[in-house]
Amino acid sequence: MKLLGVIVNPLSGDGRGSNIWGEIEPLLKSKGIAYKAKLTTLAGEATHHAVTLLQENKIDQLIVIGGDGTIHEVVGGIMEAAEHGANCRLSVIPAGTGNDFAKAYGIPNNPLQALDIALKAANTVQIDLLKTASGRVAVNSIGAGFDGKVAKLTNEAAYKKWLNRLGLGKIAYFLSILRVFVTYQPCKAWLEVDGTTYEVTDMWLAAIANIPFYGGSIQICPSASSHDGLADIVVIRSRGRFRLLPILFTVYQGKHTQHPAVSFYKGKSISLHTESPLLVQADGEIGGTTPLHIEVIPSGLRVIRAE
């Protein structure tokens, strides 16, 4: 008999994950659904839990109760287990700050509605993945520069915790953007996309996107698709910061695409070298520094999405 695997980050959304699991677990029991659940206590533990569940049990579906960071870790575990023959679908009950992955696949923030979608499993899509040279896998995006600093600041900020408690977690990203914007210093970079190299002066950020959203529903690459076999790349460059002010207030609606400081590319193999090392974020989690090399893994993961 197949078991349903559940991985819960009780601390996601400043405790929202724990509250949601308190709602979901009795429902699974009342429906007579066979499941095995694991709760995280440390950063990185969700990867280990995913590997353990898939290798030790007959599980063909994992439900993640957490945010984008937890999903990121779980997918890393799914890919690791896949090397030994495991195969499963991923479903999500969002409990984080930004919940960009859930937004991209139409999963509502209401836990019971999200659970219903997961259990019905009526619509499964094969999505591409972004894999770095170190073997790290991302489902949403990988970025370097400005957004790396924003991700680090947000994850460490006390206001993220308080805003999550008020249900205003997405504002935390915007506050961090404003803080980093005041002091950030751009640098020279070299971007290679499918063998063609572009010299980028005064680069603020380069983001490689699998979905339109990141950083709490910012539409950084509005046309990005996770099932076209290509990554969308956005580069923002400017010598002066005030020239970029309009971007701060239009990027949430994806209306920054015509700004002269913004350039877009598409490709399967992407490399980024920078004049000085820049922080890298992968699905909002800090993932080292540049240089960076990314390959698209076409149709690398099965995801249960809303109909």
The pLDDT score that the predictor gives to residue 169 is 74
What residue type is 296 in one-letter code? Answer: V
Q: What is the pLDDT of residue 206?
A: 97
Q: Is 195 exposed, middle or buried (0-12, 13-18, 19+ CB in 10 A)?
A: exposed
* Per-residue pLDDT tens digits for 11-22: 998 899 999 999
- The pLDDT confidence band at residue 102, using thresholds 50, 70 and 90, is very high
Going by pLDDT thresholds of 50, 70 and 90, the confidence category of residue 154 is confident
pLDDT of residue 200: 97
Residue 216: per-residue pLDDT: 79
Could you tell me the pLDDT band of residue 2, with boundaries at 50, 70 and 90? confident
Decide if pLDDT at 122 tops 90. Answer: yes
Round the average pLDDT of the chain to a whole number and report it: 94
Question: Does pLDDT of 161 surpass 80?
Answer: no
Calculated CA dihedral for residues 132, 136, 141, 146, nearest 10 degrees: -80
How large is the average pLDDT for residues 272-293? 94
Q: How far apart are CA 303 and CA 297, in angstroms?
A: 14
Q: Residue 91's closest CA among 64, 60, 120?
A: 64
Q: Does residue 288 sit in helix, strand or coil?
A: strand
pLDDT at residue 126, rounded to an integer:
97
Asked if residues 74 and 62 have their Cβ atoms less than 8 Å apart, the reply is yes
Length of the chain as a residue count: 307
**Average pLDDT for 129-137:** 96
pLDDT of the residue at 158? 83
Checking if the pLDDT of 198 tops 90, the result is yes
pLDDT > 70: percent of the chain: 100
Give the Cα separation of 203 and 187 in Å (integer). 5
* Those residues with Cβ within 8 angstroms of residue 101's Cβ, 6 or more apart along the chain or in another chain: 68, 71, 92, 94, 107, 139, 140, 211, 283
At 303, the pLDDT band (50, 70, 90 cuts) reads very high
User: Could you give the residue ranges of the DSSP H alpha helices within the chain?
Assistant: 12-30, 45-56, 68-82, 100-104, 111-120, 146-156, 158-165, 170-183, 245-250
Distance in angstroms (rounded) separating the CA atoms of residues 257 and 151: 22
Q: Is the pLDDT reported for residue 1 higher than 70?
A: no
CA distance 35 to 31: 11
Instruction: Give 47-84 pLDDT, tens digit per residue.
Output: 999 999 999 988 999 999 999 999 999 999 999 999 98
Asked if 274 contacts 144 with a C-beta cutoff of 8 angstroms, the reply is yes
Average pLDDT over every residue of 288-307? 96
Q: Determine the average pLDDT of the residues in 279-299.
A: 95
Query: In sequence order, which residues have a C-beta less than 8 Å from that of residue 166 and are 6 or more positions away?
Result: none
pLDDT, greater one: 216 or 25: 25
Q: What is the pLDDT of residue 112?
A: 97
pLDDT tens digits along 243-261:
999 998 899 899 999 999 9
| Calculated CA dihedral for residues 114, 117, 123, 128, nearest 10 degrees | 30
For 165-183, the pLDDT digits (tens) are 777 777 888 898 899 999 9
CB count in 10 Å sphere of residue 269: 13
* DSSP three-state, residue 265: strand
| Confidence (pLDDT) at 168 | 74
pLDDT in tens, 213-241: 988 779 999 999 999 999 999 999 999 99
Tell me how far apart the alpha carbons of residues 140 and 219 are, in angstroms, rounded to a whole number.
12
For residue 162, the model assigns a pLDDT of: 81
